[in-house]
Amino acid sequence: MNALPLAGFSGAAFLWLGFPNDLLHLPLLAPAYPAALACLGARARCAATAFRHGWLTGIVGGSAVLYWLALPVHDVGGLPWPLAVPCAVFIAACLACLHGLFSLGAHTLKEWSPVFFATLLGLAWYLLEEISDLVLGFPWLSLAGALAAWPVTIQAADIVGAYMLSGIWTLAVLLCLCPMANVSSRATGLGLAVLLLCYGAAQLQSRPFDPDPTGKNSFPVLFVEGNIDQNNKWTPEFQRQTVEKYINLTQIFLSTHPEEKPLIVWPETALPFFFEKSALFAPILRATAAQAGCPLLFGAPALRKKPDGKATVFNRAWLLGDTGTTLGAYDKEHLVPFGEYLPEWLKLDFLSALLQGVGLYESGTQTAPLRYGGLVLGMLICYEGIFPSLAKARVEEGANILADISNDNWFGRTPAARQHLSLTVLRAVEQNRWLLRGTNSGITAIVDPRGRLALQGEQFTEATRLGRAEYITEQSLYHTISPWLLPTAVLAGLALAVYGRRRFKTQDR
């Protein structure tokens, strides 16, 4: 029994240290977290205890990773710290239910052979990450996201995707560290880990890192970071100052680099007003793009009147051409709970305060890629970058590059922005696309199709950053087979469970 608290605290520490944090980021510790949960489950006296131990470990580790969720609730929502902190713990507790189920599964399988034990739990981890996406809508604790800081560990995502990759790493670690591991299983687990790393090294070697590509499909990109204070952003008197800041930063750079004709990228809701309704600012923005002779991608809310007279508000990305005309727009499809909408049963005053500016957004249906010449931009806005299905949908619609505009200013000087970037990096590898990430206060980046950062900006600075990217038309294997991964994993898990139950039940007799 003395080993159980140690396994629990170790597991929580593995999860925290595996993800970007304020102290020390050790990515390879993240796959050891499921091993700690499995140890807790296998050594528990009963099923209820197994679930409880896994759940509590998940709460502690998840709260340490996600503590920054309390900041906007306190700073923007106005809730005192004693009430804001439990909001972050509540989110961690919801995700920890999945980790409790994982420990419960380990308890159920504890009499099975190491290979069956590890394989079924590896599949289980994959399925639980799918559930965190499809059901809970917050797949932030994906193990592959923790590993993204080391690109060699995530290259297999172009075959199996991030969630299955998490499951495979879980399988490899469990074969080595599960309570019933033996010499044979440890050798198998080590071999699998080496195989993943060798594949990763081969992929990185096959496409040497070029932070400044010069091929026929390459193009320059200019990111403009306004570092606008979230608390002042939506005040009417601050609108002109915001517009002038973005225009001035852009024009100063282009005046000193007249040879460049880049795609100009401003961040999510860079303009805190309804662009198409603004008789004052819309002509200025169009003139800016025309004067520069460059396309301009920026975020600004959009308003649409319904037949009944009610207004619909969207979080929109706009693309202006090099003459200032509107080439297209993308409406954010997957909204952030509490940040962009509130469930009907949770419309409380302090939560409503989080809906700054225009208030309640609605999910968009205008999601087609934005086109400029040969460039086909598959748009993602902020939080959408953590969802594999949305990036896949953009590529399915013809996108030859992914673009994510974001604003992580809400979360201050915490690891949130680094965690967000790590999760977004996975979309580039999964879809074999360069990814542009423009932000208000960091972390602005260009990600190559192997998950390497060709450009990475600092946080909380007013800045212009020039980089280059390429557009690609070839699709990854994962893009092709992804619709079949989930049903195949479910069927494989059921088949293994039935076979294993018969086999080990017979042995018990």
Q: Which of 336, 338, 313, 268 is nearest to 77 (CA)?
A: 338
Q: Contact at 8 Å (CB) between 36 and 48?
A: no
Which of 87, 97, 176, 382 is catalytic? The answer is: 382
Which of 130, 225, 268, 430 is catalytic? The answer is: 268
User: Position of tokens 């800041």?
Assistant: 245
What does the alpha-carbon distance between residue 106 and residue 92 come to, in Å, rounded to a whole number? Answer: 21
305 part of the active site: no
Q: Give me the sign of the Cα torsion angle 260, 265, 266, 271.
A: positive
Instruction: Report the DSSP pairing between strands 326-331 and 311-320.
Output: antiparallel
Which of 129, 332, 333, 384 is catalytic? The answer is: 332
332 part of the active site: yes
**Structure tokens, 351:** 């939560």
**Structure tokens, 76:** 């923007």
- In what order do the strands lie in the sheet containing 263-265? 326-331, 311-320, 296-305, 263-265, 218-225, 463-470
Q: Which of 251, 259, 238, 345 is nearest to 289 (CA)?
A: 251
User: DSSP letter string over 342-389?
Assistant: --GGG--HHHHTTS-TT---------PPEEETTEEEEEEEGGGGG-HH
Amino acid at 23: L
What does the alpha-carbon distance between residue 399 and residue 183 come to, in Å, rounded to a whole number? Answer: 47
Burial 120-129 (b: 16+ CB within 10 A, else e): bbbbbbbbbb
* 343 Cβ contact partners less than 8 Å away, ≥ 6 residues apart: 337
Q: Which residues pair with 456 in a beta bridge?
A: 445
Amino acid at 467: G
**Structure tokens, 450:** 């192997």
Q: Which residues pair with 312 in a beta bridge?
A: 304
* 144 Cβ contact partners less than 8 Å away, ≥ 6 residues apart: 154, 157, 162, 163, 165, 166, 169, 426
Please compute, for residue 262, the number of CA atoms within 13 A of its CA located in the half-sphere on the CB side: 24
Long-range contacts (CB closer than 8 Å, 24 or more residues apart) made by 76-84: 76/230, 76/231, 76/353, 76/354, 76/356, 76/410, 77/350, 77/351, 77/353, 77/354, 78/350, 78/353, 79/350
Chain-centroid distance of CA 342 in Å reads 21
Amino acid at 119: T
87 part of the active site: no
User: Among all residues, which ones are annotated catalytic?
Assistant: 268, 332, 382
